[in-house]
Amino acid sequence: MRSDEFLRRMSEALAVSRGGDVSSAVRQLAELEADAKADEPGEVSQEDLGDLSSLLAQLLETVGEKKEALERHRARAQRLEDEIRGKAVAAAGNLAAAVLLASDMGNNELALDLGKRCLALYALHADPSPTIEEMIRRLREIRMGQSKKKPAP
């Protein structure tokens, strides 16, 4: 199914829902979800499928299907958390490398600022990497005024 067809059918179901027939809209969206999942992977984006699932959860709650709505919301939240965690790990790794470079160049203020940002991301998913461990050691040295690195000329 092409993305434009997916969006058209989703819009049609929303119009039905706004017209007051939420149960019919739920059926249309459930059929759309099944059709989209049956197609070749990548035809409809995962983001669009996620949005559809969230919308379905909201409408299921409206028609009293609270258990299914709850499960859909939980599953969607878990997928989004997994995405966030993966991006946070990658960003933290890059920030840790930047901290080490800033420290090597003698820019301790920048190293501390980047380090705070890195640690905030690192808290989302602790990934014991040598770069992060070295960054933490270096930040401690800077905070204690014991940085062995001299400013770059």
Write out pLDDT tens, residues 7-44.
Answer: 999 999 999 999 999 999 999 999 999 998 887 776 88
Q: How far apart are CA 90 and CA 104, in angstroms?
A: 21
Write out pLDDT tens, residues 33-74.
Answer: 999 888 777 688 888 999 999 999 999 999 999 999 999 999
Query: Do the beta carbons of residue 121 and residue 75 sit within 8 Å?
Result: no
Instruction: Assign 95 to helix, strand or coil.
Output: helix
CATH 1.20.58 range(s) for the chain read: 83-143
Place of tokens 């003698």: 106
Angle (deg, nearest 10), helices 46-62 and 22-38: 150
Instruction: Note the CATH architecture for domain 83-143.
Output: Up-down Bundle (1.20)
- Phi, psi of 41, rounded to the nearest 5 degrees: -60, 140
pTM for this prediction? 0.67
Q: Is the pLDDT of residue 100 over 50?
A: yes
